[in-house]
C-alpha cells in the first residue's frame, strides 16, 4: 500500500536514491569546496582582510573588472538586440550559418578566443592595423579587456531576446500600423517594451559572465598591475605567491558580486516570464 | 463583394491578412488589391478614406498594375532599413566572431600542413590530447549521472526545498573559473584541509591529474542537469506512471521509458558539458602546476606555447580546439533540429 506521504510526494520509485545522490554529489562537488573559501578568508582578521581587499592594486582591479564588464555588456545589449532582430525578422542568404556562428563564443575554449583576439587586435593584426593609425591601441590596454569581454558575452543578449522577438504577436504590430504608427514608432512603443525584460536579463547574464572571465582576457590585456589587471588575475597572482588567505579575501568580494547578480537574474527571469507569459 | 470572405466565418488568419493588406494599401504600399474590408469599417477615419479610395477604383486595377510577387506587409521593414540593419549586424559579428575564429585557422595553416602536423605530433602535444580526453572521459559521465539523478528527483517528486536545490545546481556558473580552481587548491592543496592527510598517504591531488579532474567536474557540474530538468518537467510523469501501473520496476521505467524519451536532451547536455570540459582553462590553470607532458591539458598547452612565442604551434594546437568547437556547434544544431518543438522550448527555458 502506498502511504499518504508517498502519494503527496509522487508515486514513482527512486525518490531516496535520486535525491540522496543529488544532495550528496552537490555537497561534495560544490558546497564543501565553496565553503572552504569562506573559512580560509576568515583566518584573516577584519583589519588584515580590509588591507587586502581595499589595497590600491585590488581596487584598481575591481574598477577594471566592473567597468570593462559593464561596457562590454552595454555594447552587447545594443548589438545583441540588433542581431536578434535581424536573425528573427529578416531572411537572407546564410542566415542559419550566421545563427550558428552566434554560439561560437560559448563553444570556443577561452584560451583559444584569447590568443585569436590578441592576434587580430594587436598592432600588426588584421583589425588592429587599421586601429593603430587612428591612435587606438586595442590589445594590451583596457580596451582590449572590453573587446575580449564583449566576445565572451555576445551570445547572451542575442539568445535571450531572439525567442521573444520570434514569439511576438504579429497582430500587435499590425494594430499599431492600422492606428497610424510608422515602423519606428511601432518599434519604440510596441516592440521595445516587450523585449526589455529579456534584454535586461541578457545584459545581466553577460555582465556576470564577464566579471569572472579569465582565459580570454589574460592574453589580450597585457596584465599590467594597476592598469590592465582584472580581479580574477589578481587572485591568480596571489595564489602563485601562496597567499591563500589574501586570494580568498579577494575571491569573496568577486563571489559576492556574482551571487548578487545571479539573484538579480533570477528575479529578472521571473519578470520576463510575467511579461511574456512564457518560461 | 464576396460575401463568403466577409461573413462571420472568416478565420483569424484571413482577418489578419485582410487587415495587413488594408493597412498596406492605406500607407501607400504595393499591396493594393480590391478586397472587401467591411469588417474593418468600424468608424476609423483613415480606414474609411482608404476604403473609399479602393472602392472607387474598378476591379480592373489589379489587371493594369499586377501585384508584385511578394507584397510588403506592414510588419515588414522597408528594404533600405532591412539591408542596413543586416549589414550592421553582420559587420559586428564579423569583427567580434568571424575574424577571430577565422584567424585561428589561417594562423595555424600559414606555414603549411607539414608544420601544422609537426606541432601536433610533438610528444607534449600528444600528452596534452591524451590528458584532455581522459579528464573529459571522467568528468562528463559523472556529471551526466548527476544530471539524470537530479532531474529525476526534482521533476518526479514534490518535496520542500526543491527550488533551493535547483538554484544550487546553477551555482558553479556564477563562480569565476579562477575561483573554481582555487577551491580545489584550498581543499586538497598542501596547506588545504585535506592536504596533510593526503600527503601522509602519498596521494597527490593538486598539481596532478586528480586535481584537474576535480576542477573540471566543478566547472561542468550544471550542464546536463539544467538541460534535463526543464525538459523532463515539460514532459510530465504520465508515461512513467503508466509503466508503473503495468508493473515495471524503477530501473525498467528508467531504461525503457525515461531514457528513450530524454535521450536527445541528455545528449545535448553531454555535448555542452564535454565542450566545456575539454576547453576549460582558468580553473584547470590554477590546479595544474603546468608540468609539461604530465599535467598539461590542450588549453594549457596552448598557453605555454604562446608564452614561449611559438605562435604557429600555439595556433596549430588551437585549431584542434577550434575543430572541437565546430563539431559541438554542428551537433548542437542537429539536435535542436531533431527535437524541433520540444527541444527548442527547453533550450529557451535554459537560455545559457
Question: Domain boundaries in chain B?
Answer: 3-64, 78-109, 112-349
Q: Chain A within 8 Å of B116 (Cβ-Cβ)? A: no
B112-349 has which CATH code? 1.10.3720.10
From first to last of its 352 residues, chain B has per-residue pLDDT tens of 333 333 333 344 444 444 444 444 444 333 334 343 334 434 444 444 444 444 444 444 444 555 555 666 777 788 889 999 999 999 999 989 999 999 999 999 988 888 899 889 999 999 999 999 999 999 999 999 999 999 999 999 999 988 889 989 988 988 999 999 999 998 888 777 888 888 888 888 888 899 999 999 999 999 999 999 999 999 889 999 999 999 999 999 999 999 999 999 999 999 999 999 999 999 999 998 877 778 899 999 999 999 999 999 999 999 999 999 999 999 988 888 877 655 455 555 544 4
Amino acid B68: pLDDT: 54
Interchain contact, A235 vs B167, CB within 8 Å: no
* A231: pLDDT strictly greater than 50: yes
Residues of A in contact with B77 (CB under 8 A): 89, 183
The set of long-range contacts for B58-64, using a CB threshold of 8 Å and a minimum separation of 24, is: B59/B34, B61/B32, B61/B34, B62/B32, B62/B33, B62/B34
Chain A neighbors of B168, CB-CB under 8 A: 26, 30-31
pLDDT of residue B345: 55
**Cβ separation A82–B185 shorter than 8 A:** no
* B81: contact with A, CB 8 A cutoff: yes
Q: Which of residues 260-279 of B touch A (CB under 8 A)?
A: 272, 275, 278-279
Please report, for residues B2, B153, B196, the alpha-carbon distance to residue B163 in angstroms, rounded to integers and kept in the order given: 57, 12, 37
Average pLDDT estimate for A259-274:
83
How far, in Å, CA of B226 to CA of B233, rounded?
Answer: 11
Report how far residue B230's alpha carbon sits from residue B225's, in angstroms, rounded to the nearest whole number. Answer: 9
Does position A264 have pLDDT exceeding 90, yes or no?
no
> For A171, which residue in chain B has the nearest alpha carbon?
B16
Chain A residues near residue B129 by CB distance under 8 angstroms:
none
| Closest of B78, B331, B285 to residue A186, by C-alpha | B78
The whole-model pTM stands at 0.82
Look at A15 and B75 and tell me if their CB atoms are within 8 Å. Answer: no
Say whether residue B222 is in contact with chain A using an 8 A CB cutoff.
Answer: no
Instruction: Look up residue A21 and give its three cell numbers.
Output: 545522490
Instruction: Please report the pLDDT score of residue B42 as a whole number.
Output: 40
> Which residues of chain B are within 8 Å of residue A264 when distances are taken between CB atoms?
none
Q: What is the pLDDT of residue A145?
A: 94
Q: Contacts of residue B97 in chain A, CB cutoff 8 Å?
A: 101-102, 104-105, 151, 154
A37/B186 CB distance under 8 A:
yes
B10 and chain A in contact, CB less than 8 A: no
When scoring B221, B282, B287, B320 by the number of chain A Cβ atoms within 10 A, the one with the most, hence best to mutate, is B282
| CB–CB contacts below 8 A, A to B | 311
Separation of alpha carbons B298 and B206, rounded Å: 18
What pLDDT is recorded for position B6?
A: 38
Quick one: what percent of chain A has pLDDT higher than 70? Answer: 97
Q: Which of A156-170, A212-226, A258-272, B132-146 has the lowest mean pLDDT?
A: A258-272
Rounded Cα distance between B298 and B282, Å, is 12
pLDDT in tens, A76-113: 999 999 999 999 999 889 898 899 899 999 999 999 99
Residue with cell 599535467: B295
ipTM of the complex: 0.89
Residue of chain A nearest B271, judged by CA positions: A107
Q: Determine, for residues B302 and A111 on separate chains, whether the beta-carbon distance falls below 8 Å.
A: yes
Closest partner residue to A244 among B186, B241, B329, by Cβ? B186
With 0-12 CB in 10 A as exposed, 13-18 as middle and 19+ as buried, what is A147? buried
Distance, C-alpha A2 to centroid of its chain: 46
Amino acid at each position: 500500500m502506498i502511504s499518504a506521504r508517498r502519494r503527496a510526494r509522487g508515486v514513482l520509485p527512486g525518490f531516496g536514491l535520486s535525491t540522496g545522490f543529488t544532495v550528496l554529489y552537490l555537497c561534495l562537488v560544490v558546497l564543501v569546496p565553496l565553503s572552504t573559501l569562506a573559512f580560509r578568508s576568515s583566518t584573516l582578521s577584519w583589519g588584515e582582510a580590509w588591507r587586502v581587499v581595499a589595497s590600491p592594486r585590488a581596487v584598481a582591479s575591481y574598477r577594471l573588472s566592473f567597468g570593462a564588464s559593464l561596457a562590454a555588456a552595454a555594447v552587447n545589449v545594443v548589438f545583441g538586440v540588433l542581431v536578434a532582430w535581424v536573425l528573427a525578422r529578416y531572411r537572407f542568404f546564410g542566415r542559419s550559418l550566421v545563427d550558428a556562428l552566434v554560439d561560437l563564443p560559448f563553444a570556443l575554449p577561452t584560451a583559444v578566443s584569447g590568443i585569436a583576439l590578441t592576434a587580430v587586435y594587436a598592432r600588426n593584426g588584421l583589425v588592429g592595423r587599421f586601429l593603430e593609425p587612428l591612435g587606438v591601441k586595442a590589445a594590451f590596454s583596457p580596451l582590449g579587456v572590453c573587446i575580449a569581454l564583449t566576445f565572451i558575452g555576445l551570445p547572451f543578449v542575442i539568445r535571450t531576446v531572439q525567442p521573444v522577438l520570434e514569439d511576438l504577436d504579429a497582430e500587435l504590430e499590425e494594430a499599431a500600423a492600422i492606428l497610424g504608427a510608422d515602423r519606428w514608432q511601432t518599434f519604440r512603443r510596441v516592440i521595445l517594451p516587450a523585449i526589455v525584460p529579456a534584454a535586461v536579463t541578457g545584459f545581466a547574464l553577460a555582465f556576470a559572465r564577464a566579471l569572472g572571465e579569465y582565459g580570454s582576457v589574460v592574453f589580450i590585456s597585457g596584465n599590467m598591475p594597476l592598469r590592465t589587471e582584472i580581479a580574477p588575475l589578481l587572485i591568480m597572482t596571489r595564489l602563485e605567491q601562496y597567499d591563500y588567505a589574501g586570494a580568498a579575501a579577494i575571491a569573496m568580494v568577486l563571489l559576492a558580486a556574482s551571487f548578487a547578480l545571479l539573484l538579480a537574474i533570477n528575479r529578472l527571469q521571473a519578470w520576463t516570464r510575467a511579461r511574456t507569459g512564457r518560461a | 463583394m464576396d460575401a463568403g470572405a466577409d461573413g462571420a466565418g472568416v478565420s483569424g488568419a484571413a482577418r489578419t491578412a485582410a487587415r495587413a493588406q488594408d493597412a498596406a494599401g492605406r500607407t501607400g504600399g504595393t499591396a493594393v488589391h480590391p478586397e472587401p474590408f467591411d469588417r474593418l469599417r468600424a468608424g476609423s477615419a483613415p480606414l474609411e478614406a482608404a476604403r473609399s479610395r479602393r472602392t472607387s477604383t474598378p476591379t480592373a486595377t489589379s489587371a493594369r498594375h499586377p501585384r508584385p510577387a511578394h507584397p510588403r506587409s506592414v510588419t515588414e521593414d522597408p528594404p533600405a532599413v532591412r539591408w542596413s540593419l543586416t549589414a550592421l549586424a553582420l559587420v559586428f559579428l564579423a569583427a567580434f566572431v568571424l575574424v577571430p575564429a577565422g584567424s585561428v585557422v589561417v594562423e595555424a595553416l600559414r606555414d603549411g600542413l607539414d608544420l601544422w602536423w609537426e606541432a601536433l605530433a610533438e610528444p607534449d602535444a600528444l600528452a596534452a590530447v591524451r590528458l584532455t580526453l581522459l579528464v573529459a572521459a571522467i568528468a562528463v559521465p559523472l556529471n551526466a549521472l548527476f544530471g539524470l539523478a537530479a532531474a529525476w528527483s526534482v521533476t518526479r517528486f514534490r518535496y520542500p526545498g526543491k527550488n533551493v536545490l535547483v538554484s544550487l545546481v546553477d551555482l558553479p556558473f556564477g563562480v569565476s573559473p579562477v575561483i573554481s580552481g582555487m577551491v580545489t587548491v584550498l581543499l586538497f592543496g598542501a596547506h588545504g584541509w585535506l592536504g596533510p592527510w593526503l600527503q601522509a598517504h602519498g596521494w597527490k591531488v593538486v598539481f596532478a591529474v586528480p586535481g584537474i579532474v576535480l576542477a573540471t567536474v566543478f566547472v561542468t557540474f550544471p550542464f546536463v542537469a539544467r538541460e534535463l530538468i526543464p525538459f523532463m518537467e515539460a514532459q510530465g510523469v504520465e508515461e512513467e506512471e503508466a509503466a508503473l501501473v503495468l508493473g515495471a520496476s524503477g530501473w525498467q521505467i528508467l531504461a525503457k521509458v525515461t531514457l528513450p524519451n530524454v535521450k536527445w536532451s541528455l545528449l545535448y547536455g553531454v555535448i555542452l558539458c564535454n565542450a566545456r570540459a575539454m576547453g576549460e582553462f582558468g580553473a584547470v590553470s590554477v590546479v595544474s602546476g603546468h608540468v609539461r607532458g604530465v599535467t598539461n591539458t590542450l588549453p594549457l598547452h596552448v598557453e605555454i606555447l604562446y608564452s614561449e612565442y611559438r605562435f604557429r604551434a600555439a595556433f596549430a594546437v588551437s585549431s584542434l580546439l577550434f575543430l572541437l568547437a565546430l563539431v559541438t556547434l554542428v551537433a548542437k544544431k542537429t539536435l535542436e533540429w531533431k527535437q524541433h518543438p520540444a527541444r527548442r522550448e527547453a533550450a529557451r527555458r535554459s537560455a545559457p
